[in-house]
Each structure stands twice: as C-alpha cells, then as structure tokens.
C-alpha cells in the first residue's frame, strides 16, 4: 500500500527529490530507490523537516514508530495515518502538541488506481489539511470524508472489502471447475463478470436489487441459485463477517 501511494504521488506531480521514505530493510530500501528514484533513509531522518508525513505501518507497530519519529516531527507537520483501527487521539498523544492528524483507510485496488479511501480529521485539522490529504490519495482512487466514529465500519466495508470479493471469485472459479470448465476459462468468465457488473452498477446508478432482479427470471437458473444462497444464509454471513471486522478494528486501537 505504501508503494502504491508513493507511485501515485509521483505520478500526480511530485518529483522524487521532494519525497523521502523511511524503510529499515536494506533490500526493500534498494527496491524503492531503484523503482522510484526516491531517497530512503532511517525513519527519523525521513520525517525531519517534512511538511507532511504518511504513516503506513501495521497497527501493532504504530506505538513504537511514533515513539521513534515523534520527537523529530516539526511544528505544523501534517501527520496522515493509514493504520487500521489506530485513532487520531492515539497519535495526537504521541506527537508534539497541536500537530494536525488525519486518519485514512485505503484499500488494495489503489495498486491499480481504483482505490476507495476514507479520511477523518483529528482535533487540530482544518479544511486545508483535509483538502491536502484528499489531493494525495486521489492519485490512486476515490476519496470520501467521514466522521472518525465511522472509520471502523469503513474498514469493515471497503478496507477489508476486496478480500470478501476475492473470496467470492475463488468460490465461483472453483464451482466452474467442478462443473467441467478449464480453470483458465472459469477465471476469465468470473473476472470479467465481476468487472462488468461493477461497471454496470457504477455507471447506471441503479440499486443492486433492481439489477439482480433483472437477471433473475421466475423459475430460471439464477432464481435456483439465489434460493440456495438464501437457504445457506449467505447474506447473514456477510453481515456477521463485516461486524467482526469492525469489532477487530476497534480492538486494534490500543485504547
């Protein structure tokens, strides 16, 4: 995710000379320099003097990273966190007083510039800070503003959402193979069906129920399949799964 955003920022007009990356693994640092031409430095050097810092770390590592880089952050530095569950309050308590903090939740389609990002302001943010973060993230997809209290739900829906869809894709491909299709053919059928359905939903603006019902003829093949999904409580399973993801996001806050 960090590299996807780095590539997006560079494609959006930043020069490599304007970007510094903190990375402790020498092999990974060498890759980033080779691919993007950016300077890769120890974390404290990377953030020193920066006007904006993006924290792209695992939630369980956030406390240690803030303890390391917090003292090196200058006055007015905009801090953007992409760590699931970590609240702006958690970060504000570990950086110099008054720094603007924005919490963001991206998703992996950002790797192909089709991400869905949600952002929420901390207690010291203003419109200018939010607009700047929107501009950064818009290089890799769409951006929505939400209250921070909704970000755990966002994590469950769009943050983790690609995994649910890939799970469905896996299941449909396996079903195709069971029904006698070559795996490559089943994969092409499922991937294009997913791509086309998403485009149809986005471009028509019609409710998904309406679009589903247009495919579902009374007594037909789709109706038989949907009945099995309902009998196996697939809808309820999706809702329970996303509730579990939101709960886990709250647990990761460390507060």
Residue tagged 């951006």 (tokens): 143
Alpha helices in the chain (DSSP H): 2-11, 26-36, 43-47, 62-69, 88-92, 127-137, 151-154, 161-178, 183-204, 208-215, 221-231, 234-251
**Residue with structure tokens 């890769």?**
40
Largest CA distance in the chain: 67
What pLDDT sits at residue 176? Answer: 98
Q: CA 199 to CA 181: how far, in whole Å?
A: 25
Check the annotation: does 43 bind a ligand: yes
CA count, 13 A, side-chain hemisphere, 174: 6
Residue 10 pLDDT: 86
pLDDT score of 39: 87
Q: Which residue has the tokens 């020498």?
A: 26
Low-confidence residues in the chain, pLDDT < 70: 254-255
CB 224: neighbour CB atoms within 10 A? 10
- What's the pLDDT score for residue 100? 97
105 close to 84: Cβ distance less than 8 angstroms: yes
**Chain length of the chain:** 255
CA angle 185, 186, 188 (to 5 degrees): 65
Structure confidence at residue 255 (pLDDT): 61
How many Å apart are CA 13 and CA 138, to the nearest integer?
A: 12
User: Whose CA is closest to 172, among 189, 197, 148?
Assistant: 189
DSSP state for residue 148 in the 8-state scheme: G
Report the pLDDT value the prediction gives residue 177, as an integer from 0 to 100.
98
Q: What is the rounded CA–CA span in Å between residue 93 and residue 115?
A: 30
Rounded distance between C-alpha atoms, residue 103 and residue 120, angstroms:
5
């Amino acid at each position: 995710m960090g590299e996807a955003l780095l590539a997006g920022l560079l494609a959006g007009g930043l020069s490599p000379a304007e970007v510094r990356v903190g990375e402790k693994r020498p092999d990974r640092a060498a890759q980033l320099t080779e691919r993007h031409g950016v300077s890769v430095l120890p974390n404290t050097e990377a953030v020193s003097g920066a006007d904006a810092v993006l924290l792209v770390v695992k939630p369980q590592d956030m406390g240690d990273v803030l303890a390391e880089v917090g003292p090196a952050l200058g006055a007015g530095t905009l801090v953007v966190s992409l760590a699931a569950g970590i609240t702006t309050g958690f970060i504000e308590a570990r950086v110099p007083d008054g720094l603007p903090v924005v919490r963001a939740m991206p998703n992996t389609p950002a790797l192909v510039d089709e991400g869905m990002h949600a952002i929420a302001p901390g207690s010291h943010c203003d419109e200018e800070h939010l607009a700047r973060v929107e501009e950064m993230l818009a290089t890799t997809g769409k951006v929505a503003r939400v209250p921070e209290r909704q970000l755990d739900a966002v994590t469950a829906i769009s943050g983790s959402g690609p995994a649910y869809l890939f799970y469905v894709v896996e299941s449909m491909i396996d079903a195709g193979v069971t029904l006698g299709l070559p795996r490559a053919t089943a994969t092409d059928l499922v991937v294009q069906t997913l791509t086309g359905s998403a485009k149809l939903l986005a471009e028509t603006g019609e409710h998904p129920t309406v679009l589903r019902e247009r495919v579902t003829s009374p007594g037909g093949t789709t109706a038989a399949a949907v009945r099995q999904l309902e009998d196996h409580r697939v809808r309820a399973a999706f809702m329970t799964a996303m509730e579990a993801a939101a709960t886990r996001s709250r647990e990761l806050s460390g507060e």
